[in-house]
Amino acid sequence: VSRFEGITMAPPDPILGVSEAFKADNHELKLNLGVGAYRTEELQPYVLDVVKKADKLLLEKGENREYLPIEGLAAFNKVTAELLFGADNPVIKQQRVATVQGLSGTGSLRLAAALIERYFRGAKVLISSPTWGNHKNIFNDARVPWSEYRYYDPKTVGLDFEGMIADIKAAPKGSFILLHGCAHNPTGIDPTPEQWEIIADVIQEKNHVPFFDIAYQGFASGSLDADAASVRMFVARGMEVIAAQSYSKNLGLYAERIGAINVVCSSPEAAARVKSQLKRIARPMYSNPPVHGARIVADIVGDSTLFNEWNAEMEMMAGRIKNVRHKLFDSLSSKDKSGKDWSFVLKQIGMFSFTGLNKAQCDNMTNKWHVYMTKDGRISLAGLSLAKCEYLADAIIDSYH
Ligand code: PMP
């Protein structure tokens, strides 16, 4: 009898499990709107031209494969903080940012979670309801207590701003407030600039720590600066801020696992100490991060021609998603005779649209229409083409009514 008899079968991952079910379906009209990965209009995975160029240059340079330091590639850490906060942000000049290269967004969040567990024992992290499914796993595995703040209002398929503010106010002083820097996942609903200011007021009042997860910088609007505005506003107020970054979407480097954790501190001494502890957490987990993605990011940002090309490709990707969003809205509005207001689709931003479909309706989407999506009603518009919008609209209307 196996020594592993006592180990039970784990449930499939609610997001990545959708792709597995999609693969097993042979229907010709099937559509995978589960995982958030960019596709071309032909629904094929996309490698950015600028990444291909950077790869070629890297190959020519023939750099060695020695270990990186625990904190990652220095040139990457420099540019990643500059991209997020702005190159001339005083916090960078004053050396008040502790930046450590992480295993993409997920691994970077996990490092911050471990830091909270060690140095803020008992403090809670507040996450939005709903949020990206992996947030709960990350904090659970790091043994960090979390609770939810209201975010989504099903009545308007919009932001429950009053509920959000009330819940952040009600949290114990010194809590960590997890915020999506832009393009909230799964809802696609972001606060307005005015609402961001009020959120910052409340966080400041309560001495909470803003903890940004920014996985879509440049991918939401097409502009790196515009998408980082929320983070920069908090930093400009002199607040201490945690921010986890990912290059999965904006550079299409999903499998390279490249991202970073940044902790903006009140003094350079505190930043140095925080960085030393982040390294101490990383060392027994994975020793040091992979080099390839870090070199790609550093080389692209460090070369003005490549950097401009990257920005153009980001605009192109964000633009394709916006076009699909409009076409889906038009299809829904013209096909649906019930008088339902679909304008929420247009108000959302980024890769996802929250349809408001409940679990049974999502099951109908998959079982009857072969549309694969997460059961929370989220669809990835990046997995949709203009040609498939009408079919998807039919599926959504049928499932709603
Ligand atoms: N945070 C959010 C909100 C995300 O949507 C994602 C990607 N789905 C991530 C973090 C991290 O992704 P990765 O680990 O690939 O960078």
Question: pLDDT tens for residues 80-135?
Answer: 999 999 999 999 999 999 999 999 999 999 999 999 999 999 999 999 999 999 99
Q: How far apart are CA 40 and CA 35, in angstroms?
A: 15
User: What is the band of 8 on the pLDDT scale with cuts at 50, 70, 90?
Assistant: very high
Catalytic residues: 132, 213, 249
pLDDT of res. 270: 98
- For residue 170, CA distances in Å to 167, 258, 365 come to 5, 35, 38
Tell me, in angstroms, the distance from the centre of ligand 1 to residue 61's CA.
31
Atom of ligand 1 nearest to the CA of 35: 8
Q: For residues 257 and 294, what is the distance between their CA atoms, to the nearest angstrom? A: 9
Per-residue pLDDT reduced to its tens digit, 196-243: 999 999 999 999 999 999 999 999 999 999 999 999 999 999 999 999
With a 6 A CB cut-off, is 383 part of the ligand 1 pocket? no
Q: Which residues pair with 371 in a beta bridge?
A: 31
Q: Which of 189, 190, 248 to mutate to test the pocket of ligand 1 (most atoms within 8 A of CB)?
A: 248
| Ligand 1 atom index nearest CA of 180 | 3
> How many angstroms separate the alpha carbon of residue 398 from the centre of ligand 1?
31
pLDDT of residue 312: 97
Q: Are 381 and 220 in contact (CB under 8 A)?
A: no
Phi, psi of 4 (to 5 degrees): -100, 15
Residue 128 beta carbon below 6 angstroms from any ligand 1 atom: no
For residue 381, what is the DSSP state?
Answer: G
Is the model's pLDDT at 35 over the cut of 90?
A: no
Residue 2 Cα to ligand 1 middle (Å): 36
Quick one: average pLDDT of 254-271?
98
pLDDT of residue 14: 80
pLDDT of residue 55: 97
CB 382 within 8 A of CB 38: yes
| pLDDT for 401 beyond 90 | no
User: Binning pLDDT at 50, 70 and 90, where does residue 161 land?
Assistant: very high
| Unique residue bearing structure tokens 């101490």 | 280
Higher pLDDT pick, 17 / 108:
108
d(CA 132, CA 128): 9
Question: What does the pLDDT read at residue 125?
Answer: 98
pLDDT at 13: 83
Best probe residue, ligand 1, of 111, 132, 379, 381 (max atoms within 8 Å of C-beta): 132
Which residues lie closer than 8 Å to 181 by C-beta, 6 or more apart? 212, 213, 214, 215, 216, 217, 227, 228, 230, 231, 243
Average per-residue pLDDT for the chain: 96
- Whether ligand 1 lies within 6 angstroms of the CB of 350 is answered as no
Closest ligand 1 atom to residue 246 Cα is 16
Q: What is the DSSP string of 349-370?
A: -SSEEE----HHHHHHHHHHH-
Per the CB < 8 A criterion, the answer to whether 398 and 357 are in contact is no
pLDDT (mean) for 251-278 = 98
Q: How confident is the model at residue 31 (pLDDT cuts 50, 70, 90)?
A: very high
Instruction: State if residue 106 touches ligand 1 by the CB under 6 angstroms criterion.
Output: yes
Using pLDDT thresholds of 50, 70 and 90, give the confidence band for residue 61. Answer: very high
Q: Look at residues 229, 226, 260 and name the one whose alpha carbon lies nearest to residue 243.
A: 260
Dihedral over Cα of 330, 334, 336, 338: its sign: positive
pLDDT at 235: 98
Q: What's residue 15's pLDDT?
A: 82
Confidence bin at 285 (pLDDT 50/70/90): very high
Q: Is the model's pLDDT at 17 over the cut of 90?
A: no
Closest ligand 1 atom to 185 CA:
3
CA-nearest residue for atom 4, ligand 1, is 215
Q: What is the pLDDT of residue 16?
A: 80
Query: Which residue blocks in 142-267 are alpha helix, DSSP H?
Result: 161-170, 193-205, 224-227, 229-236
Separation of CA 36 and ligand 1 centre (Å):
9
pLDDT above 90 for 12: no
Residue nearest to atom 8 of ligand 1 (CA): 36
Q: Using CA positions, which residue lies closest to atom 6 of ligand 1?
A: 215
The residues, ordered by sequence, that sit 6+ positions from 400 with a Cβ below 8 Å of its Cβ are 336, 338, 340, 357, 361
Which protein residue's CA is at the shortest distance from atom 1 of ligand 1?
215
pLDDT tops 90 at residue 159: yes
Q: Which of 58, 62, 34, 55 is nearest to 186 (CA)?
A: 34
Which ligand 1 atom is at minimum distance from the Cα of 131?
3
For the chain, percent helix, then strand, then coil, each to nearest 5? 50, 15, 35
Q: What is the pLDDT of residue 204?
A: 98
Give 64's pLDDT tier (boundaries 50, 70, 90): very high
Give mean pLDDT, residues 181-195: 96
> Cα torsion at 229, 226, 92, 272 (round to 10°)?
60
Pair 36, 185: CB distance under 8 Å: yes
Residue with CA closest to ligand 1 atom 12: 105
Task: Compute CA 79 distance to the chain's CA centroid, rounded to the nearest angstrom.
Answer: 19
